[in-house]
């Protein structure tokens, strides 16, 4: 068998396995996030936070390896259009959270939702600055 063909098959198999692992990591993250809300024990919550942080890092590493196999550049998603879409998504999340806070009967719930909306606004500012950096690098 041609060595180049054999290498291509190995890369395709590796990519398929990494894609499956990526999906598994996402599924695990969703599971941990869903149970985190019902856990009151601080030690268990700390463990779940560790699992979430590690899972995010794993997804980042796996995504990078997959992008290398695809031949994509590391900054391919840092396009002006992509950043603008992210800004719109963050702003939409901020606005939705503020509406939810207004509808919440429990003052503590309302404050938590408002706090998250402040984070979303901060994300908008970060993305706007990132957009400026990408534009100046052109």
- For 20-45, the pLDDT digits (tens) are 999 999 999 999 999 999 999 999 99
CA distance 80 to 134: 7
Per-residue confidence band for 70, with pLDDT thresholds at 50, 70 and 90:
confident
Q: What is the mean pLDDT of the chain?
A: 89
Element (H, E) at 138: none
pLDDT digits (tens, 9 = 90+) for 81-124: 888 989 999 999 999 999 999 999 999 999 999 999 999 999 99
Q: What is the pTM of this model?
A: 0.61
């Amino acid at each position: 068998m041609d060595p180049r063909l054999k290498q291509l098959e190995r890369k395709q198999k590796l990519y398929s396995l990494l894609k499956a692992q990526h999906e598994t990591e996402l599924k695990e993250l969703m599971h941990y996030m869903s149970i985190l809300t019902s856990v009151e024990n601080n030690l268990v919550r700390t463990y779940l936070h560790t699992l979430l942080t590690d899972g995010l890092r794993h997804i980042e590493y796996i995504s990078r390896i997959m992008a290398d196999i695809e031949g994509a550049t590391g900054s391919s998603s840092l396009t002006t259009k992509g950043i603008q879409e992210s800004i719109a998504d963050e702003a939409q999340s901020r606005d939705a959270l503020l509406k939810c806070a207004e509808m919440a009967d429990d003052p503590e719930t309302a404050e938590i939702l408002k706090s998250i909306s402040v984070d979303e606004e901060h994300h908008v500012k970060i993305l706007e600055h990132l957009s400026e950096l990408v534009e100046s690098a052109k």
